[in-house]
Amino acid sequence: MKSKSKVTEEKVFKSAETLMSRYGIKGWNMNDLAAASGITKRTLYKIITSKEQLIRDVAFNNINVIREKLFEIIRKNEGFMESLEMIIVTIPELLKNNYINNYSDILNEFPELEADLVHANEKLSNDLLFFFQRGIESGFIRNSVTPAFINQMFQGLIIHFAKYSRSETETAEKISLALRSLVFGISSRTQAD
C-alpha cells in the first residue's frame, strides 16, 4: 500500500479482508472496496496500487500472524514434543481463522504469488530449522532426516492442501492429518492420538 494515512490504509485493508472472506477474490471489485471503506474510488487508488497487490498484502499479513504465533510456541521453550503438538494443532486453526478459503483462489488466480509466499516463509523456516534440529539433538527425530527436509515437507503439505482443498474446514482437517502423519508416521502401530 502507498498511503500516508495509516487509519485510512487500515480501513481499506480490513474492508478487503472482509470482502475476501465473504465473496472470495473475484466476487468484489474496486467500487465495492471503496464503498466498504467509506472512501471514493479515486481516493482508493491513491492508497493501493492494484487489487492484486492488495490481495497479496492480505495474504502476507495473514502469514505474518501465523508466523508470529508459531514463533511464540517455539520461544516458550516447552519440551520438543509438547511444542510440536501445539504447532500441529495451531497451524490448521490459524489458517482456518485467517481466510484460508481464499488461499486456494489466490494461489490459483495468481500463481506467481506462490513463489512469493514460499519466499516469505523463509523467515519462519529459519526458526523451524532450529526447532527441528533441537528435535534431532533430543532424539525425538531420526538423525537420518535433515531439518531442511522436514521443513520442506511441512511447507509442501500446507501449500498443497491450502491450494487444492474445497473448503476451509476440509483444508484444516487435511493439514492437521498430514502434519500428524508426517510427525508420527503412517504406521498403524504408532499411537499419535
Q: Hey, what amino acid is at 26?
A: K
Q: What is the structure's pLDDT at 183?
A: 82
pTM of the predicted structure, to 2 decimals: 0.70
Q: What is the structure's pLDDT at 37?
A: 94
Say which residues have a Cβ less than 8 Å from residue 108's Cβ, sequence separation at least 6. Answer: 163
Residues of the chain with pLDDT under 50: 3, 190-193
Q: What is the structure's pLDDT at 4?
A: 56
Cell of 83: 511444542
Cα gap 154→145, rounded to integer Å: 13
Q: What is the structure's pLDDT at 24?
A: 81
Q: What is the structure's pLDDT at 41?
A: 93
Q: In this predicted model, what pLDDT tens digit does every residue of 16-49 receive, in sequence order?
A: 988 988 888 888 999 999 999 999 999 999 899 8
| CB atoms inside a 10 Å sphere around CB 112 | 8
Q: What is the structure's pLDDT at 191?
A: 47
The answer to whether the CB of 88 falls within 8 A of the CB of 179 is yes
Q: What is the structure's pLDDT at 190?
A: 47
- Match 516447552 to its residue by C-alpha cell: 78
> Which of 114, 105, 110 is CA-nearest to residue 24?
105
The answer to whether the CB of 120 falls within 8 A of the CB of 61 is no
Q: Hey, what amino acid is at 180?
A: R
Say which residues have a Cβ less than 8 Å from residue 10's Cβ, sequence separation at least 6. Answer: none
